[in-house]
Structure 1
Amino acid sequence: MTLRVLVVEDDPVAADAHALYVSRVPGFEVAAKAHSRAEALRALEEEATAQAGGIDLILLDLYLPDGSGLDLLRSLRAAGHSEDVFAVTSARDLTMIREGVSLGVVQHVLKPFTFRTLSDRLLRYADFRATAETRGEAISQDEVDRTLSVLHAVPAASTLPKGLSAPTLARVTTQLRDAAGTGLTASEAAAALGVNRITARRYLEHLVGIGRADRHQRYGQVGRPEHHYVWRP
């Protein structure tokens, strides 16, 4: 499933940069860009009636030339819009952040930010969406807590073992998540990503180590069994 994003940012250069970041994250596409509240409302209306399926996520600047992003969000909620929102802002006022949370902001990303910062949060948001939609109903408090932790617990860059990169890990994660029904071997992941089998296996083993995947043995017709990796919802 591809998640469609509306980028709302008053600075055209920053809007282009944010849109480029989004387009580089597997599983996401930019549906539209808007530079004001009025343009954002118009884009949402147009996307709601288009065949593409509407907007899943809004990257929302909190300072717009025709009003605040939070005021836009209030009007959207009052009109029945339920799109998820990342607040993208230079504002560090915790009262404003708290107000955003009360209006349904699921992430706050402080400017200036790197591709890696936004990519990590987008991928966790995709995991959260996939987990919620796949499982449907939680059977315990622990499962609720695990689902929410996927959305908010962003790992530090230092948690990656030496030799592993965040962009490649993001690609491996997406491939494994998309193969949730069947899983992947290291050979299959390597072929899909254009890397060698040993490299693919290192990333898959890392996902096992941090609890995001399970490892099983796959027995074929001949030869030794091969490790089989399955995304953990």
Structure 2
Amino acid sequence: MSEEPSLRVLVVEDDPVAAEAHTAYVQRVPGFTVVATVGTCRAAIRALHEQAVDVVLLDMYLPDRHGLDIVRALRAAGHPADVIAVTSARDLEIVRSAVSLGVVQYVLKPFVFQTLRERLEAYRSYAHRVGAADAVNSQSEIDQMLGTLRTTGRAHLPKGLSEELLARASRVLRESGEPLSARDLAHRLEVSRVTARRYAEHLCETGLAERRSRYAGAGRPEVEYRWRH
């Protein structure tokens, strides 16, 4: 039995740290190969014209244009590539527009490797089913085919972390006009300093936030966290 060819992935992410992480994540999932990693809408459209791409891993917030413009350009050109949104965009209008344009998966930042792997594996099953079929003979076949895109929705976070509090911590850091210490973050989240530090450190590990030391006189420096814009 011949092995299925790898699905070719275009990673579109303007943040260098996140782009490197997403590229590495995709390469770790069997059946996928990253053919290019770009950071702008213009570069993405050029890459799609220059090489074969099966699926686009797409951030919505790009420096030159909105990520949805890439999806519209794909559809207008009749390009067959599917799109998996990987973004911090939580605006309902963006989600609705993504769905209406045929985005097959929507992954919210921050996430860990297992979350993206689950989405990619679900997409791989769907793509192979579609590629192997010339037509469908029943409603159940269509349901099964589309059902492969669905995932369990399990949260793959480190033990003790919750998606709800992680989203709140992300929002606080993202909307803060200045770096925050663990004590500052704890106060705004109404949690303990230790808990706030765990969430801040997780955001740093996933590339969404960064840490730095602040020296204020004698004694140990205080660690501050800020969102990576």
Taking structure 1 as the reference length, what is the TM-score of the superposition? 0.62
Residue 41 in structure 1 maps to residue 45 in structure 2: yes
Identity of aligned residues (%): 55
Alignment partner, residue 51 of structure 1: none
In structure 2, distance between residues paired with 1:11 and 1:56: 23
The answer for unaligned runs of 5 or more in structure 2 is 157-229
Where in structure 2 are the equivalents of 1:1-233 lying within 5 Å?
Answer: 1-47=5-51, 54-154=52-152, 156=154
Runs of 4+ aligned structure 1 residues displaced above 6 Å come to: none
In structure 1, distance between residues paired with 2:29 and 2:120: 8
Taking structure 2 as the reference length, what is the TM-score of the superposition? 0.63
Contact 2:119–2:151 under 8 Å retained in 1: no
In structure 1, distance between residues paired with 2:79 and 2:99: 16
Contact 2:56–2:83 under 8 Å retained in 1: yes
Contact 1:121–1:154 under 8 Å retained in 2: no
In structure 2, distance between residues paired with 1:147 and 1:80: 22
In structure 2, distance between residues paired with 1:5 and 1:114: 19
Alignment partner, residue 203 of structure 2: none
Residue 23 of structure 1: how far off its partner (Å): 0.1
What do the CA deviations read for 1:121-150 (whole angstroms, capped 9, x no partner)?
101111011112223322211111111111
Aligned residues: 152
The answer for unaligned runs of 5 or more in structure 1 is 48-53, 159-233
Residue 157 of structure 1: how far off its partner (Å): 6.4
* 1:5 aligned partner, one-letter code: V
What do the CA deviations read for 1:7-64 (whole angstroms, capped 9, x no partner)?
00010110000000000000001000010011111211221xxxxxx00000011010
* 1:30 aligned partner, one-letter code: V
In structure 1, distance between residues paired with 2:76 and 2:131: 25
Residue 71 of structure 1: how far off its partner (Å): 1.6
Contact 2:8–2:54 under 8 Å retained in 1: yes
What do the CA deviations read for 1:150-183 (whole angstroms, capped 9, x no partner)?
112335369xxxxxxxxxxxxxxxxxxxxxxxxx
Residue 72 of structure 1: how far off its partner (Å): 2.1
In structure 2, distance between residues paired with 1:37 and 1:85: 14
Residue 2 of structure 1: how far off its partner (Å): 0.4
Give the aligned CA root-mean-square deviation in angstroms.
1.5
* 1:46 aligned partner, one-letter code: E
Q: Secondary structure at the match of 1:4?
A: strand
* 1:16 aligned partner, one-letter code: E
Q: Secondary structure at the match of 1:17?
A: helix
Residue 76 of structure 1: how far off its partner (Å): 2.3
Contact 2:55–2:83 under 8 Å retained in 1: yes
Residue 80 of structure 1: how far off its partner (Å): 2.1
